[in-house]
Amino acid sequence: MAGLEVNMKCKGRPWSKITRDQAEAILKVWRRHGDEMLHKYNIRNFLQYRRLAQPLMGGGGCVMIPSLGIWLGIETDGHTHS
C-alpha cells in the first residue's frame, strides 16, 4: 500500500481531531491487529497507527483507517464498519 506510507508522513493535518469514542474504537482495532500491522506496514505503536485516520468526505465526522487490506469506517460514536 504505497498510499499508506505517504499518509504516515503527513504532518499538521487540520482534520486530525477525532472523538474519544473513535479513539477507543481505533485502539480496539490496534489491539486486534497491531502485531500483524507491525510486520506488514512497519507501524510500531498505537499513536503512529491513529495518525493514519482520514476523514470521509461528506461522512459527518466519520474517519477511515486502513486495517490489513481493507479500510474501516469509524463513526463519531465509535461504531466501526467496513
Query: pLDDT tens digit string along 37-54?
Result: 888 878 888 888 888 899
Is 47 inside a domain boundary?
Answer: yes
Per-residue pLDDT reduced to its tens digit, 9-40: 444 454 458 899 999 999 999 999 888 888 88
Provide the residue range defining the domain that includes 24. 18-81
Q: Is residue 74 one of the residues assigned to a domain? A: yes
Whether 5 maps to a domain, the answer reads no
Asked, for residue 8, whether it belongs to a domain, the answer is no
Is the pLDDT reported for residue 4 higher than 50? no
Domain count, the chain: 1
End-to-end CA separation in angstroms for the chain: 17
Of the CA atoms within 13 Å of residue 79, those in its CB half-sphere come to 6
Where are the strands (E) in 1-82, listed by range? 54-55, 63-67, 70-74, 80-81
| Predicted confidence band of residue 5 (pLDDT cuts 50, 70, 90) | very low
Domain assignment of residue 66, yes or no? yes
46 assigned to some structural domain: yes
Q: Is residue 60 part of a domain?
A: yes
